[in-house]
Structure 1
Amino acid sequence: MTLKKTNYLLTGLSLAGFLLLTACGGGDDDGTTGGATDVCETAGEGINIDALMTTNCKYLSNYRLFEDPSNPTANPTDNGTPYDLTTALFTDYTSKYRFVFVPEGKKAQYSTNEVFEFPVGTVITKTFALPADTAFRGRENETLLETRLLIHRESGWTALPYVWNASATIAEFKSAGAFLPVSLVHNGEQQDFTYEVPDTNMCKQCHQFDVAGTSRFMPIGPKARLLNRPYDYPQGSENQLTYWQTAGFLEGLPADLTSIDTIPAYTDADAQLLPTKTDDELMDLAKGYLDINCAHCHRPEGGASNTGLNLEYWRSYNDHKPQHGYCKEPVAYRGSDGLNVDLVPGDAESSILHYRINTTQPRHRMPEIGRALVHEEGVALVASWIDSLPGSCTP
């Protein structure tokens, strides 16, 4: 059986035959706004910036972001630049291919703790590809599922999900998202599950922030602490932040990159090394993992601000133990039998934080959206960290 047939579990059906669309989400189902399709279909060289700035085109290829319209994992058009994060948000063991396109002559503004301030005209793409077996990654071993666009238009950031067809030749805009029955092998065990492409409203759940009383939709990943690492560019390895500044689309970067409080890298392969880590190393790794997976909501400006859990990497655990859940009863959650404290130092099994990232039950899992599987290696990291913490919740 071929890779694509294995992952999609198809038997003579087209992708359109098995997509189940959600009932919410904005925009027309044909992928255009106000029926304006001419700008999408305009031929030419380079990025179709007019379409990007004005229209939700039906097909990803309409924007001409990649030299090969059927391959959004390589060869971006114009000044598109690939990037990677030290520790990535978990999404059902998919591989992710990220690119940023900043308009010629414009620059992103560096920020110490927050996502960079990207100029109008910026486009960020993230493509999700499912490996047949997580032990063998790379485009040749994976099936394209979706490509998400974040476009900075004059009106603000716009999120557009594009779903790839079964033959991975066309990605079509689906404002209502999609449910894709898929399968993969992880650690030798096959897992069949339903992968969810978020609708345009679900995107707001993670990307919407309250900044000084104003609601703002913003990217999540491109922060200094997640980008301060080498990347293998065609011309050689170079620190991503230095490359961005030299390429001319980032300004304000500190001269000393070691001064940037950087999240350490944690991959699935690192889980086997957890028993060798010191308590300080576990703290650093776990806080980095919670930052990218949880802190876009669990922060004072995020959607889970009412919970009292604030999990940003830069927030010191020792100085802000209650904000990390230390011996804290949950404010907005009930339902896990026998668990009544967010974080019990020295006891992961009694901690709600550990329980919620270790379940797939929709009413209990965290994050609430974005995954159908348990990230076994992430759970192992958080458990090791909690178990290493000193203290007691006994009165």
Structure 2
Amino acid sequence: MFSSKLFLSALSAAFLSLLFCGVNLRAERPAWTESRLQGTPEPPLPLKVQRVHPNLVVRSPITAMDLPGTNRRLLLQVSGQVSTFENRDDVETMELALDINATNLKVNPDEKFAAARDLTLHPDFENNGYLYVVWSIRPHDVEGGTRISRFRMNMPGDDGVVENDLDSVPTIDPESRLDLLSYPSGDHIGASLNFGPDGLLYITTGDGSLPFPPDVNKAAQNIGDLRGSVLRIDVNETSQAADGTTLPYRIPEDNPFVDVAGARGEIYAFGLRNGFRAAFDPATEDLWVADVGWEKCEMVHRIVPGGNHGWSLYEGPHPVDLEQTPGPGPVILPEVVFPRSESQSITGGVFVPLNASVVRQDASLVGEYLCGCYMNGNVWSIDTQSKTQTGKPPVPRKIASTGLKIIDFFVSQSGAAAEILLVDYSGGLYRLIENESVDDYASFPQRLSETGLFSDTKDLIPNPGVVAYEPAATMFRDGIRTVRFVGIPGQEPIHPMRKRYTPGTVFANTLIRDVLDSDGNPKTIRLETQVLSFDGLNWNPTTFAWNEEQTDATLVPAMGATQTFRVADPIWGPRDWEHRFYPRDVCITCHNVANPGAASLVPENLRDEAGPGSWNELAHAGFLVSAKSKPGFEMVDPSDEDQPLEQRARSYLHSNCAHCHRPAGGATSKMDLRHNRPLDQTALRDVPAAQGDFGLGADTCVVLPGHPERSALVYRVATGGPGKMPRVGCTTVDLAGAAMLWDWVESQPASGETQAAELSATDDNQTVRAMRLWRALAGKAPDEAKQTVGEMLSGDDAPESPVLLGLLQPWIDPSQRKLMVGDSPDADALLTLKGDAQRGLQWFYESAASQCRQCHRIGGLGKDVGPSLAGISKRRTRAEVLRGIIDPSAKIEPEWQSHTLLTVDGDLVAGRILREDDDVVVLQQADGTQTTLAAEDVEVKKPNEQSLMPAGLLSAMTPQEVADLLEFLMQTNEAGELPVGD
């Protein structure tokens, strides 16, 4: 084969010297014209989006709607500006009707405006002109800082009554402001407004807290506090408050808590974290609210009058704070739960009317509830009636991938057919339309050689318009190195810092590693090439696995795959190592709308000085815009001990962690680990470790300066057990990287008030002692470290805690590690372990290793590729369930039998037959997608002896996790719920 170092250096020198040839001026580079990366590798989603009013410049819109009785639309921006514009596609300007910020400054000059959140119109708007706005001021926790205010819209020449004058430009009288209701300002203020079928105003409120700590005021379970609730008031009448003052609204007598001592009568339901966008089901008049989750899931609730919807006792099904005083009533689980891998910030939507234009393409959408994700731009439809019909929770169906920051939906009835429109916080309105590109996937490249990236795939010779680049710092990948390319159509340079990319831009990252051949001789091979392509809205990930001959690579299925190689482990010598080709959904969790393109491509990571591969040279060659690196923030190779320790540590954190740990990056902590942030702005030092202390102590910080043994960040990188970071990309512990971070934290001056006596008081903490032992072992020769750990594990006081064993994992023989079940589970031994149902629930919903929900439904989550797991104890014993997971092919129920079909064209298609008649055969494949074949095209149909469910699903679990999962499965009822008290 070839040497990896020689390969990398030769590649860089050859291509970059050919590219630049000493020329130091902006070149007319060749455009990349060979790309064949169009469409998707799977059948496309049924709908897509189309920009409306493309010439209209809009900044941070929050909501929009048609203005009744006019030919105009109304739009609210986060800045507090309410504007209207003509409802025609070529409109270019908006007319300001009201600036809430400017109006409030005149009255309250000391108040600092924060944001407007929602606006709705009175049901009788055409006669009274009333509109209602939610807005807030800073700082957090200002009493009355979030307001629901009523304004009145005027038409020119009219005394406050809206007329049906299609040419009038409306205005809003700032003097008409009437503050109806208020609650404390905060981060999560919810703030969605809907008039119900009963004519009453429904208001969702958030808990008001920052993400950490969760629900700091314990407001969501307190029915004496308006926060974390759904409120219901009558805005058409006034009433008397208990103190004798006049309220500008009336509390309906049938509100659930009007007669409860200490309760706020306005509350209709409670236990929400941040109810963001709500809609009434016209078929049932039920209120559906999308609730933004904390760290594990996003939720959609069907609101129950007087109902306790869980937060912050629970986040969906996950326990959060069970020690607080709960509100009245049992906890009601969400109707739908999205794991964080699918949605990171839910936005509620609308119900699809019968006359909607999209219904012509997909009649099943009629009456369904649409919701979306602010972070990844996906849109789902939910059949809200399915539970009534089947007894099972509804399952979301992804219908569009938009690439937008979806902040709201609305239905427009202004045309012959209703349109579903999306509000994009990045600035624009879009309609959902049919996706005509239904056949694109058929031509999607199945091999790397077909993508157009390389003129010679075997030697990775790029086509014109594709260039190699080599960052100084890259993420740790179990000893893997990378070769990176970017291909850009056209001749305009890309601007990564401002997220400006030419549609069709592609990043290709080839992973290479030293392995052992069948004779035990070292060789270097390419494992996979990861491709990230930009279609103008979305970044679409695909992976190609290299063949044994190293001449080409083949497209990996969407669900990913694994392959085992023989490697020379630096501690244990020759051993088998499993490489995981990650599912595409895992890629999207990092490469989302807030973090597009390649995180490694920043000026500081390519060097600013002239030379092959520098930012300047790539800019001169026409690939990148010219940019200067930020002085003092240059990135370096973290393993280069000649570089300053601070730069090494910050470069390491950027390349391994910052793709998630940045604003809107998808991580749940408030850390910002980008290299160009001053250290005091990273939320690292002296910040409480809100995600768990792992036994380090109640006052554990993310980084405790001078004390790496008590720093959660160092623990997470050092462990191979609970809390291991990063969660994807590597399976082994980066000993050198973790030791470097240890030394960096230790080098920092101790915090001002930290007393040595206080620290020494926790010296008996076994996790702290294990951390110190870990650092000592990391500095020893492998044989010496292995001997030390071996003696510990063979002694009478051998550690059993997964936390302690996780820190010792690098020096435990891989074949003897008890942390994981491995590929040959002992079913009898696993069945003897006592499980905890709540821990099993948490593993099922949260763990990145949990694959159950990819195919099975339970508690409103999952897919129908396999049978529902809810209430499985009525159908299977505990032993049968476990053995069914270990060996899924041993017994396959006829309903779930898969078949392989051979078509007349010679194609093989495997899956479960959902429908078969004289015309078509419909199969559901292992990843949940469906394929329809004409019956006359099927030549052979053969039942498969292998289950669609793969074996080895328990290999990455600890025995205790398996026991906990079993206990969870055996205790859940048909609705996927655990008994009260569990």
2:525, 2:540 → 1: CA distance?
A: 26
Deviation of 1:147 (Å)? 0.4
Read off the aligned partner of 2:491 and give its amino acid letter. G
2:440, 2:646 → 1: CA distance?
A: 42
Contact 1:145 1:163 in 2 (8 A): yes
Deviation of 1:359 (Å)? 1.8
The match for 1:228 is: 607
- SS for the counterpart of 1:250 is coil
Superposed, 1:292-371 pairs within 5 Å as 292-304=655-667, 306-317=668-679, 319-320=680-681, 323-324=683-684, 326-333=685-692, 335-336=694-695, 338=697, 340-361=700-721, 363-371=722-730
Contact 2:453 2:462 in 1 (8 A): yes
The match for 2:199 is: none
The match for 1:290 is: 653
RCO higher in 1 or 2 (8 Å CA, sep ≥ 6)? 1
1:151, 1:328 → 2: CA distance?
A: 37
Contact 2:514 2:567 in 1 (8 A): yes
The alpha-carbon distance between structure 1 residues 365 and 151, as it changes in their structure 2 partners (threshold 3 A), is: same
The match for 1:201 is: 585
Correspondence for 1:101 among 471, 487, 491: 487
The alpha-carbon distance between structure 1 residues 201 and 346, as it changes in their structure 2 partners (threshold 3 A), is: same
Between 174-183 and 287-296, report the one with greater CA deviation. 174-183
1:207, 1:65 → 2: CA distance?
A: 20
Contact 1:224 1:260 in 2 (8 A): no
Superposed, 1:128-167 pairs within 5 Å as 128-132=511-515, 141-167=523-549
Correspondence for 2:451 among 63, 69, 74: 63
1:225, 1:381 → 2: CA distance?
A: 21
Read off the aligned partner of 1:297 and give its amino acid letter. C
The alpha-carbon distance between structure 1 residues 239 and 124, as it changes in their structure 2 partners (threshold 3 A), is: closer
The match for 2:563 is: 180
Contact 2:609 2:616 in 1 (8 A): no
Contact 1:209 1:218 in 2 (8 A): no
- SS for the counterpart of 1:238 is coil
Superposed, 1:248-267 pairs within 5 Å as 248-251=622-625, 253-254=626-627, 257=628, 262-267=633-638
- SS for the counterpart of 1:117 is coil
1:89 equivalenced with 2:89 (yes/no):
no
Superposed, 1:66-81 pairs within 5 Å as 66-71=454-459, 74-81=460-467
Question: Residue deviations 1:238-293, cap 9 Å, x none?
Answer: 35212222212222x14xx465554332253x24x5xxx7xxx3222211110111
The alpha-carbon distance between structure 1 residues 337 and 267, as it changes in their structure 2 partners (threshold 3 A), is: closer
Deviation of 1:78 (Å)? 1.5
Contact 1:103 1:122 in 2 (8 A): yes
1:381 equivalenced with 2:760 (yes/no):
no
Deviation of 1:69 (Å)? 2.4
- SS for the counterpart of 1:145 is strand
- SS for the counterpart of 2:512 is strand
Q: Which runs of 5+ in 1 are unaligned?
A: 4-30, 36-50, 134-139, 211-215, 232-236
Read off the aligned partner of 1:124 and give its amino acid letter. F
Structure number with larger C-alpha Rg? 2
Contact 2:638 2:651 in 1 (8 A): no
The match for 1:33 is: 42
1:87, 1:52 → 2: CA distance?
A: 37
The alpha-carbon distance between structure 1 residues 309 and 82, as it changes in their structure 2 partners (threshold 3 A), is: same
Between 153-162 and 78-87, report the one with greater CA deviation. 153-162
2:440, 2:506 → 1: CA distance?
A: 8
Deviation of 1:170 (Å)? 3.3
Contact 1:95 1:131 in 2 (8 A): no
Read off the aligned partner of 2:688 and give its amino acid letter. E
The match for 1:121 is: 504
1:229, 1:187 → 2: CA distance?
A: 35
Question: Residue deviations 1:49-72, cap 9 Å, x none?
Answer: xx999954221111132122234x
Deviation of 1:218 (Å)? 3.7
The alpha-carbon distance between structure 1 residues 345 and 261, as it changes in their structure 2 partners (threshold 3 A), is: closer
Read off the aligned partner of 1:384 and give its amino acid letter. D
Contact 1:86 1:229 in 2 (8 A): no
1:241 equivalenced with 2:625 (yes/no):
no
2:491, 2:504 → 1: CA distance?
A: 11
**Aligned-residue CA RMSD (Å):** 3.1
Contact 1:225 1:261 in 2 (8 A): no
The alpha-carbon distance between structure 1 residues 141 and 130, as it changes in their structure 2 partners (threshold 3 A), is: same
The alpha-carbon distance between structure 1 residues 150 and 61, as it changes in their structure 2 partners (threshold 3 A), is: same
2:549, 2:468 → 1: CA distance?
A: 24
- SS for the counterpart of 2:584 is coil
2:440, 2:645 → 1: CA distance?
A: 43
Deviation of 1:106 (Å)? 2.2
Deviation of 1:94 (Å)? 0.6
1:80, 1:380 → 2: CA distance?
A: 37
Contact 2:480 2:512 in 1 (8 A): yes
2:688, 2:630 → 1: CA distance?
A: 36
Question: Residue deviations 1:350-389, cap 9 Å, x none?
Answer: 211111111223x411111111111222112111100101
Contact 2:503 2:536 in 1 (8 A): yes
The alpha-carbon distance between structure 1 residues 313 and 259, as it changes in their structure 2 partners (threshold 3 A), is: closer
- SS for the counterpart of 1:307 is coil
- SS for the counterpart of 1:67 is strand
The alpha-carbon distance between structure 1 residues 258 and 34, as it changes in their structure 2 partners (threshold 3 A), is: closer
Deviation of 1:229 (Å)? 5.5
1:309, 1:61 → 2: CA distance?
A: 40
1:55, 1:153 → 2: CA distance?
A: 16
- SS for the counterpart of 2:533 is strand
The alpha-carbon distance between structure 1 residues 130 and 184, as it changes in their structure 2 partners (threshold 3 A), is: same
Q: TM-score, normalised by structure 1?
A: 0.71
Read off the aligned partner of 2:669 and give its amino acid letter. T
The alpha-carbon distance between structure 1 residues 333 and 162, as it changes in their structure 2 partners (threshold 3 A), is: farther
The alpha-carbon distance between structure 1 residues 320 and 239, as it changes in their structure 2 partners (threshold 3 A), is: same
Read off the aligned partner of 2:524 and give its amino acid letter. E
Between 193-202 and 120-129, report the one with greater CA deviation. 193-202
1:167, 1:239 → 2: CA distance?
A: 30
Paired residues in the alignment total 316
Read off the aligned partner of 1:194 and give its amino acid letter. E
2:694, 2:630 → 1: CA distance?
A: 43
Read off the aligned partner of 1:88 and give its amino acid letter. T
Normalized per residue, the structure richer in helix is 1
- SS for the counterpart of 1:245 is helix
- SS for the counterpart of 2:620 is helix
Q: TM-score, normalised by structure 2?
A: 0.30
Contact 1:225 1:263 in 2 (8 A): yes
Deviation of 1:187 (Å)? 4.5
